[in-house]
Amino acid sequence: MDPKLMGILVCPQSHARLLRVGDWLYSTDPATRRRYPIRDGIPIMLVDESEVVPEEEFTRVMQDNQENK
């Protein structure tokens, strides 16, 4: 995905920054813990299409992101 696009996309619910993990964009907001699908290279930024991930998964994804910086 284009880095410029990633720089401007935010979670439509919380307006938090997003992280790409495979075919998902994870919101960095711990209160909402949403992830949005990427289909055929297109991010689907609709709350109705998103999923709330379990707290354990959210924590793991955020920790993995910190370690990979």
- The tokens for 20 are 């790409």
Show the DSSP H helices in the chain as ranges. 3-8, 55-67
The C-alpha atoms of residue 47 and residue 1 are separated, in whole angstroms, by 20
Q: What is the pTM of this model?
A: 0.91
Query: Structural domain boundaries of the chain?
Result: 3-67
The pLDDT value recorded for residue 69 is 64
The pLDDT value recorded for residue 13 is 96
Instruction: Write out residues in the chain with pLDDT < 50, as ranges.
Output: none
The pLDDT value recorded for residue 24 is 97
- CATH 2.20.25.10 describes domain 3-67: yes
